[in-house]
Amino acid sequence: MSLLQIRKLSMAIHGTPILKDVSLEIAAGEIHGVIGESGSGKSMTAFSVMQLLPDGAACSGQILLDDVSVLDAGEADLCAMRGDAVGMVFQEPMTALNPVMSIGDQVAETILIHEDVSKADAMARAQAALERCELPADKFPMTRFPHELSGGQRQRVVIAMAIALRPKLLIADEPTTALDVTTQAEILDLIRKLVDEDGMGVMLITHDLAVVTGLADRISIMKDGCVVEQGAAATLHRDMTHPYTKSLFAASAHQPDRNERPGEAPLLQVEGLVRRYSLPRKSLFGPAQSFEAVDDVSFEVKKGESLGLVGESGCGKSTLTRAILGLERVQAGKIFMEGVPVLSGGRVQTSVRRKMQVVFQDPYGSFNPRHRVGRLVSEPFFLHGRKASAVEIDEALVSVGLAPHDKHKYIHEFSGGQRQRIAIARALIIKPELIILDEAVSALDVSIRAQILDLLADLSTQFGLTYLFISHDLSVVRSITDRVLVMKSGKFVEEGPTETVFENPAHPYTKSLIAAAPRLPDMDDMQGVTP
């Protein structure tokens, strides 16, 4: 018998159709993956089950949770259901947690709301839930606050909150999107362990086919508010019939066509770079302590090369990036751009800095929403001390596949993929020689990611660009780079040609990263898919 049954569910917001005749079932002990791109209706399906919908939303059809009709339940019954019968894990744990409450109090709060127990009992059960999520008290006291934990540890706290009352159904909405590969693997293993121990059903929402193919029992593919295909996770890649499903698998396995001919002359040289942070003293008269986020790092990037930099969160990738851009003060080392020092007298030389541009992970967060796109794209010209001409703005937008009239719009009027194109146009407009891409495609849907990777490959050929590509997504790094550096604890532990490192990793850490990365089935096994 099914734990959750969704039958012909339709949902509209102020009369605009969002979901259309969605039907799927989840059994106890089953992990059901719900796959689709942004706007496909995945999250709205989950929110319909919880009845956490925006004002103006109206549902029709049927949602049965353990044979109880969710759509017919009153608000008091729904409040009792949320957190008790159904738990939810959100994509971004930092925004899902209260920054001024300790992790123990936040997990215990769920128990106190639903059960008449003492605070001491609730805290004891909260500790047990955290222990189950592999946060033992001796290493992670319940008095810690969210900002004192890493991204993976915060996600474990959110899972502990969701499973504290041992719900029958767990909804996980993109629970691993922003995590590095080893942390992602740990979270996915944790979800599987909890399912096996408690027999709960899981609705796993994600846009990553590789993640869901390796973990789920069944998969539903959503597009434009509809379920277009369903099947067993182990065989869907062979049995799929819908063109959209095939396009998702093709985009997930996409390899951009690249002209791999880097020059011999070094463009960027980094020698003995050290970035040290001071740590708080353990006592008033205790010795001063420090932490070296970047520890005596040296490397070079050749003209026309695409160099990948990989490693787990906290390894020093982003700190190194900021140091290269002159946004971090360094304690030792030198940075040269075409043989010219980037720093002079502790300050960035503008004439050298203008040869480097950066594309960030979150394009929306890196733009001022009050300005039009034309103004945003032209910002790098402040390094020149002049304004960009209309022709220069138009050329930059056209080079990334947008139209000149887009310069009159605001950033909120564009999709995620279009915003990333605008971010690339902003980086291109002053014709830099090096572009640093810091997790630039991590949060994008697979089809948008494929388009951006193709765009980067085309721009590299067209303008002779050099890329420093920073990512925790190993499949992306493998598809877009010539050479790769592997970073751990502020040092490089391995480097070499990308295919050599991926096929024959030498360092144990590199081997662990590659082993943890989720994989799609072999292309030869995929029916009707062209990579």
- Helix or strand (DSSP H, E) at 159: helix 151-163
- What is the predicted pLDDT for the residue at 119? 93
- Strands 466-470 and 306-310, sheet pairing: parallel
Q: What are phi and psi of 171, to 5 degrees?
A: -105, 120
Q: In sequence order, what DSSP letters do the residues of 408-426 get, joined into one string?
A: GSBGGGS-HHHHHHHHHHH
Q: How is the beta sheet containing 266-279 ordered, strand by strand?
A: 289-302, 266-279, 332-337, 340-341
CA pair distance 528, 86, nearest whole angstrom: 38
Say how far apart CA 143 and CA 121 lie, in whole Å. Answer: 16
Amino acid sitting at position 457 = A
Q: Which amino acid is at 10?
A: S
Q: Give the per-residue pLDDT at 16.
A: 92
The 3-state secondary structure of 27-55 reads: ECCCEEEEECCCCCCHHHHHHHHHCCCCC
pLDDT at 261: 64
pLDDT tens column, 203-249: 999 888 888 888 899 999 999 999 999 999 989 988 899 999 999 88
Per-residue DSSP letter, 431? -
What is the Cα–Cα distance from 406 to 422, expressed in whole angstroms?
Answer: 10
Alpha carbons 233 and 15: distance in angstroms, whole number: 35
Beta bridge partners of 340: 337
Q: What is the pLDDT of residue 282?
A: 66
- The parts of the chain modelled with pLDDT lower than 50 are 531
What was the pLDDT predicted at 242? Answer: 93
- Fold observed for domain 2-85+167-252: Rossmann fold (3.40.50)
Q: How far apart are the first and last CA of the chain?
A: 39
Residue 53 CA to residue 56 CA, distance in Å, equals 8
Sheet holding 68-69, edge to edge: 16-27, 2-13, 57-65, 68-69
Q: What is the CB-side half-sphere exposure of residue 424 using CA atoms within 13 A?
A: 28
Cα 199 to Cα 53, 72, 166, 219, 232: the distances in Å are: 28, 26, 10, 18, 19
